């Protein structure tokens, strides 16, 4: 089954209106491969502004949300709020949410489920720490994370899985194409065994972790790498080359 290549740009806690305008300018200049689905993740305070100036061929994502529609949760935003400002995607379970802010697998699963129930599409992030990889626990960790997410998913067509080995995020280290492909293939086999053949064949599994203009083409050649979730490089013109990695 053909899976549309997907590139997400996670701006993290970066930017200003002026910086976002610069990003939009280089995205407009492109040219971007029309066969690639592109989604940019903006800070929540800039979602409406970003929505107003991003070109129509690029979707927008919130970088996080909570698991309920409303309530006494100071500082949080809900899927309903995200939808209300015209945004249709959310990034959940990013390693920084897990390892800086202490979000557990089960909470992330609940958030994924609620976001999907509210009509959002989800980029669901998973990945292991360096000590977990060195201890040979990569599959144990990512399968546990997948299990917590899958319990809450009714519609896999609106889920993109982002495998991001934590040791490769913002460190300059990148999993080799073979290392990344190995985990992606194991994740696809997990989906086949635990969910269904069709979900395994159709679900996009993207790679994140120091993806650059220099390494994206080699990574994109791997059979089970369906795109990228890009951090720092999404703030730079190099992001255009990453979007065009399959060309």
User: pLDDT tens for residues 115-139?
Assistant: 999 999 999 999 999 899 989 999 9
Positions marked active-site:
94, 164
**Residue 19 pLDDT greater than 70, yes or no:** yes
Give percent of the chain above pLDDT 70. Answer: 100
Using alpha carbons, select from 196, 165, 159, 167 the residue that is nearest to residue 181. 165
Give percent of the chain above pLDDT 90. Answer: 94
Residue 34 CB contacts under 8 Å (≥ 6 apart), including other chains: 57
User: pLDDT tens for residues 38-79?
Assistant: 999 999 999 999 999 999 999 999 999 999 999 999 999 999
User: pLDDT tens for residues 179-189?
Assistant: 999 999 999 99
Q: Which domains does the chain have, with CATH numbers?
A: 6-243 (3.20.20.70)
Q: Could you write out the three-class secondary structure of the chain?
A: CCCCCEEEEECCCCCCHHHHHHHHHHHHHCCCCCCCEEEEEECHHHHHHHHHHCCCCEEEEECCCCCCCCCCCCCCCCHHHHHHCCCCEEEECCHHHHHCCCCCHHHHHHHHHHHHHCCCEEEEEECCCHHHHHCCCHHHHHHHHHHHHHCCCCCHHHEEEEECCHHHCCCCCCCCHHHHHHHHHHHHHHHHHHCCHHHHHHCCEEECCCCCCCCHHHHHCCCCCCEEEECHHHHCCHHHHHHCCCC
Residue 247 CB contacts under 8 Å (≥ 6 apart), including other chains: 33
- pTM of the predicted structure, to 2 decimals: 0.97
User: pLDDT tens for residues 89-116?
Assistant: 999 999 999 999 999 999 999 999 999 9
- Write down the mean pLDDT value for the chain: 96
- Confidence class of residue 144 from pLDDT cuts 50, 70 and 90? very high
Contact criterion met (CB below 8 Å) for 243 and 217:
no
Contact criterion met (CB below 8 Å) for 178 and 197:
no
């Amino acid at each position: 089954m053909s899976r549309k290549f997907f590139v997400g740009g996670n701006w993290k806690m970066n930017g200003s209106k002026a910086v976002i305008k610069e990003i939009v300018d280089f995205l407009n200049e492109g040219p971007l491969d029309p066969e690639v689905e592109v989604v940019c993740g903006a800070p929540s305070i800039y979602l409406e502004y970003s929505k107003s100036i991003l070109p129509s061929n690029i979707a927008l994502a919130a970088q996080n949300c909570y698991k309920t529609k409303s309530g006494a949760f100071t500082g949080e935003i809900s899927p309903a709020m995200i939808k209300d400002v015209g945004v249709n995607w959310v990034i959940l379970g990013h390693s920084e949410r897990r390892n800086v802010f202490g979000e557990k697998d089960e909470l992330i699963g609940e958030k994924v489920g609620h976001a999907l129930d509210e009509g959002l599409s989800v980029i669901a992030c998973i990945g292991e720490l360096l000590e977990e990889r060195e201890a040979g626990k990569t599959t144990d960790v990512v399968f546990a994370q997948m299990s917590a997410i899958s319990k809450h998913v009714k519609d896999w067509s609106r889920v993109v899985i982002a495998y991001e080995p934590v040791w490769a995020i913002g460190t300059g280290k990148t999993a080799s194409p073979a290392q990344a492909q190995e985990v992606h293939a194991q994740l696809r086999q997990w989906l086949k065994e635990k969910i269904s053949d069709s979900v395994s064949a159709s679900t996009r599994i993207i790679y994140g972790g120091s993806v650059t203009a220099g390494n994206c083409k080699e990574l994109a050649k791997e059979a089970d790498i369906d795109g990228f979730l890009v951090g720092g490089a999404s703030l730079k013109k190099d992001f255009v080359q990453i979007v065009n990695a399959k060309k």
